[in-house]
Structure formats: structure tokens, C-alpha cells
Structure 1
Amino acid sequence: MTTTESDAWRRHLLTDPPAIHAALAALKTVAVVGIKPADTDAPAYYVPEYAQRAGYTIIPVPVYYPDMVSELGEKAYRSLRDIPVPIDIVQLFRRPADIPPHLDAILAVKPKLVFMQLGIRHEAVAETLAKAGIDVVQDHCMLVELRKMGK
């Protein structure tokens, strides 16, 4: 195997705006792991709210809110595996140390893109996802990228 073939998975690590924007433009269903309720005024609420207004379907997957049954007018699910529809994007609002426990579920639902929000990176998880053929964005804000796209 040549170096080029062994590194082919790296093409799934999206870092430049045109690649990120192309991925976001082609996808519409976003499972938000770590979504928070409106009264928190946290990015884990207002970023998916913005994406919803921009035309994305948001599927809440709360972590710290066991009583949350819906958010943004959508039914909440306890796990990615419980979501009954195909997921295009898994958006992660989790501390880097808390991302690995979600890896098996992400691989099971096979989204086209995993989007780690601004300040969130996990190189080992990103590599595993990329090697599985899943595009990965790390340390970017979806709201900022959507605004750059004019959404």
C-alpha cells in the first residue's frame, strides 16, 4: 500500500471552508448530541435553533436533561440509535473527553458528517470516523459556517 492509499482517509477531515460548506449544503438532518434547553441561552441551544431556521431538521439528543422530551418543536431521543430516520449530520456539543463514549453509536448510525463545535476536537475519534468513510469537521461553529454560506 502506498502512502497515498494509506492516508486516503484524511480526505474525510474537512478543514477548509469550501469543503465544509459543500458538506453542509448537501445535508439536512442534524442530530444534536448535547442539546440544551432554550432557557440556558447556551450555544448548544442557539446554534441548532439557527440551523433549524436555516432549513435543517433538528433531532435533539440531550445528555444532561433526562426530562427533555422535545426541543425546538422536535421529539428528543436518548440515543442516536433510537432515532428512527436517517441522520445526515451528528453535531457534537460535548467536551472532548466525553466524545469517545458516543463513537460506537455514531458508527452505528453512519451519518455522512460529524460536526464538532467550536473548541471541540478529538483526533483519535476523528481518525476512526474518517477511516469509516464519515466526513469530520472539528473546532468550527456551525452557525458561523451557515452565516458564511448566506443561510
Structure 2
Amino acid sequence: MAFTNPTDSAIATILKNTRTIAVVGAGTDRFKPVYGVMSFLIAQGYDVYPVNPVAAGETVQGKTILSDLGDVPVPIDMVDCFRRSEFIPPIVDRAIEVGAKTIWMQLGVINDAAAETARAAGLTVVMDRCPVIEWSRLGL
């Protein structure tokens, strides 16, 4: 079955009800899209946790980059994935293990098998979208 994203109203509900977001692939480079997305999410009041094993221990926007989703000290509502499509399956597996509610794959990130795995485990999946764009598009 072909993947379809949630409806606009469901995406709006996700964005309204989400409080804690783990941003996988976060880093300190101000010129990468992840930096701007993190800034936006923080400005909207989300509790954002950057996750990147390569940059673990570094600081980005006043937050220490964590090594693993399991290092996030609170329950995770959304895992926002800034990784290439082929690296998504282990992120989904880890998100399931830690009890995340939503997997959000950024623009250009598409992995149907990982999406199906996440959905089968009860997670909501948004793929090939950006929460900043959706926030603005939906007038939140």
C-alpha cells in the first residue's frame, strides 16, 4: 500500500499537541536547514533535544547535543529526522524502543519500509514534509 501523509487537520493536531521534539541530525552549522528548523521550534515553545552521535556533547542554541534518543530525559512526542532516507530504519527502531509518538521525516526524506514499521508499532508518520512549512501553511 502506498504511503500517504496524515490529513492537514491531523498534521495540525500533531503540531499543536506535540511538546517534546528530538531532532536527529542536529548540529552546530548555522547554514544547514536543521539549525533554522530548531530555532523555529524553540521559538514556538517546543522542548527541543538535539540528537547526533557524531556531535554529542557539543552545544547548539544553548542545548547539549545528545548521542541517542535514549538520552532524552523526558518522553518524546516527535522525532524529527534530518538524516538521509537510507539511515531512517534504525532511527525508527530506536524511536519505537523509547516510546516516541510521531516520526517526522524532513523534506526529501522518504523511506516507505521505515514508515510502515513505525505505523505498525502505533506511531504517527509524516514523511517528506517540514514542520516549519506545515506550521505556516496551516496557519498555526
TM-score, length basis structure 1: 0.83
Shift of the alpha carbon at 1:95?
0.2
Between the aligned partners of 2:117 and 2:27, the Cα distance in structure 1 is 27
- The equivalent residue for 1:136 is 125
- The equivalent residue for 1:102 is 91
- SS class of match (2:108): coil
- Over alpha carbons, which structure has the higher Rg? 1
Between the aligned partners of 2:83 and 2:110, the Cα distance in structure 1 is 10
- The equivalent residue for 2:102 is 113
Between the aligned partners of 1:63 and 1:40, the Cα distance in structure 2 is 18
Trace 1:22-61 onto structure 2 (pairs within 5 A).
22-37=13-28, 39-61=29-51
Between the aligned partners of 2:99 and 2:57, the Cα distance in structure 1 is 27
- The equivalent residue for 2:73 is 84
Between the aligned partners of 2:17 and 2:56, the Cα distance in structure 1 is 32
- The equivalent residue for 1:125 is 114
Q: Tell me the C-alpha RMSD between the 2 structures.
A: 1.9
Relative distance call for 1:148 and 1:73 in structure 2 (3 A) is same
Higher helix share: 1
Asked if 1 retains the 8 angstrom alpha-carbon contact of 2:110 and 2:128, the reply is yes
Deviations 1:70-112 (A, max 9, x none): 2222232100011111110000000001112223211111211
Higher relative contact order (CA 8 A, sep 6+): 1
- Which sections of structure 2, spanning at least 5 residues, go unmatched? none
- SS class of match (1:99): helix
- The equivalent residue for 1:4 is none
Aligned length: 139
Matched residue type, 1:14: N
User: Identity of counterpart residues, as a percentage?
Assistant: 36
Between the aligned partners of 1:150 and 1:74, the Cα distance in structure 2 is 28
- Which sections of structure 1, spanning at least 5 residues, go unmatched? 1-6
TM-score, length basis structure 2: 0.89
Between the aligned partners of 2:36 and 2:102, the Cα distance in structure 1 is 20
Matched residue type, 1:112: K
Matched residue type, 1:35: A
1:65 aligns with 2:55: yes
- SS class of match (2:79): strand
Greater CA deviation, 103-112 or 121-130? 103-112
